[in-house]
Structure 1
Amino acid sequence: MSTVVRFALRVVVLAVIIYVVTQLVSGITVVGNTEGTFGEAGTYLWVALLFAIVNTIVGPVVRLLSLPFVVLTLGLFLLVVNAALLGITAAISDRLQVDGFWTAVVGGFLIAVFSWVAELLLPLKVKA
């Protein structure tokens, strides 16, 4: 499977995960664009693409800078990092709304757990 196809599949899976999280957490909403080319599903794909880009570009820098806190809290600070990445995505997009810090922590935790489960079930990793 090519890298582009694998990335596109990851974005689609992430869009489904974000949809599930918006259904479970009342403070996280995606404002669907029903008049767009792909409708509301296209909005979830757009938000998932933005989150994937933020997580790919900003995520490693934030994780590296917060490494002392991650070690000190035995990894629990990664919840704050995931919440920050979700908040950055919400700040970039006018379609994603996150109501507060604790809502972002819960949403970031659920996205991380569901993404981990999806990686276990789907062959999305590059095999060396």
Structure 2
Amino acid sequence: MSVIIRIIVNAVALWAAVLLVDGIDVGTDSVPEQILVYLVVGAIFGVVNAVIKPIVKTVGCAFYILTLGLIALVVNALLLLLTGWLAGLFDLPFSIDGFWPAFWGAIIVAVVSWLLSLFVGGDDD
């Protein structure tokens, strides 16, 4: 059940990023299709964060220490870009137009996910 909640939290956070950041877009106007796209992209984002982020943190530990954790903003942006690329491979109408939209979108996704996790009792990563 917690996996489903995590996917929904990711989907809502991605929806907030699409609303607030120019350059992140879901290319469909149909609300049911948008919901499906957000849920699938939320699942992809969850898998990317669960698999790749721990590897990057382990390998780049020195950079996290050297930059006092600020490199995490760049890593999160790159993981969001990777999610957009993977969504494109699955022919999902989710696109990110470059690093800066991904950077600001990753910040929004992190904040919204954190806030929602406080309310739904999500696990702390």
Same fold (TM over 0.5): yes
The Cα of 1:72 is off from its aligned counterpart by: 0.7
CA RMSD in angstroms comes to 1.8
The Cα of 1:33 is off from its aligned counterpart by: 7.9
Matches within 5 A, 1:27-66: 27-32=23-28, 34=30, 38-66=32-60
Give the AA of the match of 1:107.
G
Task: Give yes or no for contact 1:70–1:76 (8 Å, CA) kept in 2.
Answer: yes
CA deviation map 1:53-91 (0-9, x unaligned)? 111011111121221111111111000110111011111
Specify whether residues 93 and 33 from structure 1 end up closer, same or farther in structure 2 by C-alpha distance, changes over 3 A only: farther
Residues 1:122 and 2:120 aligned together: yes
> Counterpart in 1 of 2:67?
73
Q: Pick the aligned partner of 1:91 from 85, 88, 92.
A: 85
Specify whether residues 33 and 49 from structure 1 end up closer, same or farther in structure 2 by C-alpha distance, changes over 3 A only: farther
The Cα of 1:41 is off from its aligned counterpart by: 0.6
Task: Give yes or no for contact 1:31–1:96 (8 Å, CA) kept in 2.
Answer: yes
Q: Pick the aligned partner of 2:11 from 5, 9, 15.
A: 15
Give 1 or 2 for the bigger CA radius of gyration.
1
Task: Give yes or no for contact 1:33–1:43 (8 Å, CA) kept in 2.
Answer: no
Q: Structure 1: 5+ residue runs without aligned partners?
A: none
Specify whether residues 22 and 85 from structure 1 end up closer, same or farther in structure 2 by C-alpha distance, changes over 3 A only: same
Higher relative contact order (CA closer than 8 Å, sequence separation 6+): 2
> How many corresponding residue pairs?
120
Q: Which has the higher helix share?
A: 2
Q: Structure 2: 5+ residue runs without aligned partners?
A: none
Secondary structure, counterpart of 1:92 in structure 2: helix
